[in-house]
A and B are shown apart, each in its own frame.
Chain A
Amino acid sequence: MHIIVPIKQVPQSSDVKMDPVTGTMIRSGRSSTLNPLDLYALEAAFRLTEAHGGSVTVVTMGPDSAANILKEALSMGAERAIHLTDRPFGGSDTYATSYVLSRAIEKIGSYDLVITGERATDGDTAQVGPGIAAWLDLGLVTYVSSIEEATSTHLVAERLVEEGYQRVQVALPALLTVVKEIAIPRLPTLKGKKRAMASTIERWDAEAIEADRSRIGLKGSPTRVVKIETPKVARSCTIYHADGDEATLAAVDHLIDLLEEQQLLKEVHHG
């Protein structure tokens, strides 16, 4: 079983600060990390290949520094790593990103599964996975929480949806997006780190994947960010101190009155 896992470099969220004057994002230098939700995609892929044989290829589109997350994936057990990096890729929205990734996946070829994270913690769109499936006409199963059965032709999985867990069977090749319930991600091993150091990362540009120039980067992106604002946090917190029984009772009653006033208490049904 050959599984391709697209992974993304994201800013470490705690490092993201907004400049209060200009309202722009301040990203400190070494603050990038592997999208935490992609760890689950990697783990799902490793478990499948460990159980059924095969290998995992990781691919990312991003700047030079994104090579770090490929190294990390190699040290966890990925066999091959591809770095899509080229100026014209810059400014891609999810449409253009999923196009670039789909071109790369096509070039990698002969795969049974593509597994992506549920969403990236920076953009938070969850659009790239389904987008890739659309470009490549793959069977698509999102929010996968467990994989029950896998053969060379199909897979039985559960999806976490609003009503519970939906059980589905999907024909391969297919694209899955997975949620955190799927498995506990492994850590890189020392042996893996050594292997990663010795592995080479392949670098592909727009030409290598024969990308249609009109579909990549800012020019190929249908969406435009036209304005960015820092929302004003206008909350002013009313504080009650609950020191001692009396104060606690008073605080609790204040709270209940407030909730009642704002009709936030459960409706009481008579009879």
Chain B
Amino acid sequence: MAEVWTIAETHNGSLKEVSFELLARGRALADELEVPLASVVLASHTREGELERLAAYGADIIYVAEDERFASFTVHSHAAVLLPLVRDHGPQIILAAATTTGRTLLPYLAVKLGCGLTADCTSLAIEEGTGNLLQIRPAIGGNIMATIKSPDHRPQMATSRPRSTPLGNMDTTRRATVIRVDPPSLSTDPVEVLGVRPFRDQQTSIEDARTVVSGGKGLKKRENFTLIEQLATALGGEVGASRDAVDRGWATYPHQVGLSGKTISPELYIAIGISGAIQHLAGIKTAKRIVVINNDDEANILDIADVAIIGDLFAIIPVLLRRLNERRKTQ
């Protein structure tokens, strides 16, 4: 029975959360198809207990290739393992994360394997009757949802964003078959990783954050942008910004939300002093909750907001910070 595969991602020898989220998606598909679910792990080493966690979150089979060179990602070293593995085992579906790794690896593999790929799926389902994978994704800046199929090519490949699906139930009694894969020798990798320079401000990427607090031109000047940072800290979230704020140098580009910045799906998005230009909205359409602070009760952003406080942000945020702080003290 052709398997369903998910590609795990690791960082410093630990599996990233998204590896388990992919298993939740994969489990549903594999159950529907009544086939085994496999997780593929390429890592420099795997920590004690990590593979068991994959089993607990739904993997029936775990393919593991361990090699020093997987300490950092290059598409060539990963493809050298995955291409023969896919050809040998013939999975019908491969799911990966829509991260910088997944979004580099999967399109490369798709061409090499001669099959289709759908990026950033928000939902995946099996079509009744045909067993084809239905891949649903936002398109044109979130204005439409497209359902995509790849009926005549296998494997069917898709990526989905981190945090776009909840984890499945963990069952520590579940066991998986672990299959060790010898990484084939890659005579030369055109890409050599020299090192990693962490972000100066130690932030997690806004794409991974549960809460994102964004500021726009309404903040008026750079110094005021610290209000956004303080609120983000108080809420345990990350800082986002509109393009106008980034262009003015109040925040750096990795913080930019929107069409030419990042598309994010946090649990909570707070937009402060942001008008909600269509290019900005394109980045937040899939956020679960949207809260707005703006002095214009006709701002565009209200169209997609759940809650709005209309008024002067410079009066509102200090009160909000104070009340959050008081609440913390009384707990």
Contact = CB atoms under 8 A, between A and B. Distances in A.
Interface stretch (B23-31, B57-65, B85-93, B98-106): B98-106
A227 to B, nearest CB: 4
Contacts of A264: 210-211, 235, 267-268, 289
A150 to B, nearest CB: 15
B187 to A, nearest CB: 13
B128 interface: no
A252 interface: yes
A32 B42 CA distance: 42
B193 A168 contact: yes
Contacts of A228: 139, 144-147
A170 B99 contact: no
Contacts of B211: 264
Q: B76, B100, B106, B111: which has the most chain A beta carbons within 10 Å?
A: B111
Interface string B137-165: 01111111111111111000000000000
Contact of A222 (B11, B101, B153): B153
Nearest to A262: B289
Contacts of B279: 13-14
Given A130-B75, A139-B190, A170-B191, A163 B150 contact: no
Interface stretch (B45-53, B114-122, B175-183, B217-225): B114-122
B8 to A, nearest CB: 15
B148 A223 contact: yes
Given A123-B139, A229-B144, A251 B309 contact: yes
A204 interface: no
B199 to A, nearest CB: 5
Main secondary structure of the interface of A (DSSP, over half): mixed
Interface string B264-286: 00011000000001110010010
A227 B147 contact: yes
Nearest to B307: A238
A30 interface: no
A239 B310 CA distance: 7
Interface stretch (B32-40, B166-174, B312-320): B312-320
Interface in A230-247: 230-231, 233, 235-243, 247
A25 B108 contact: no
Interface in B296-324: 297, 302-312, 315-316, 319-320, 323-324
Contacts of A222: 110, 114-116, 150, 152-153
Contact of B316 (A14, A158, A170, A252): A252
Contacts of A266: 234-236
B146 A142 contact: no
A224 B153 CA distance: 11
A181 B247 CA distance: 11
B3 interface: no
A248 interface: yes
A237 to B, nearest CB: 5
A242 B100 contact: no
Contacts of B101: 161
Contacts of B302: 237, 239
Given A223-B150, A249-B319, A256-B323, A16 B141 contact: yes
B208 interface: yes
B198 A265 contact: no
B323 to A, nearest CB: 5
A235 B147 CA distance: 23
Interface of A: 11, 13-14, 16, 18, 23, 25, 36-37, 93-95, 98-99, 121-131, 133-135, 138-143, 156, 158-171, 174, 179-181, 221-231, 233, 235-243, 247-249, 251-253, 255-256, 258-259, 262, 264-268, 270
8 residue pairs, one from A and one from B, having the closest CB atoms: A139-B190, A242-B311, A222-B116, A266-B236, A134-B111, A223-B116, A127-B107, A227-B147
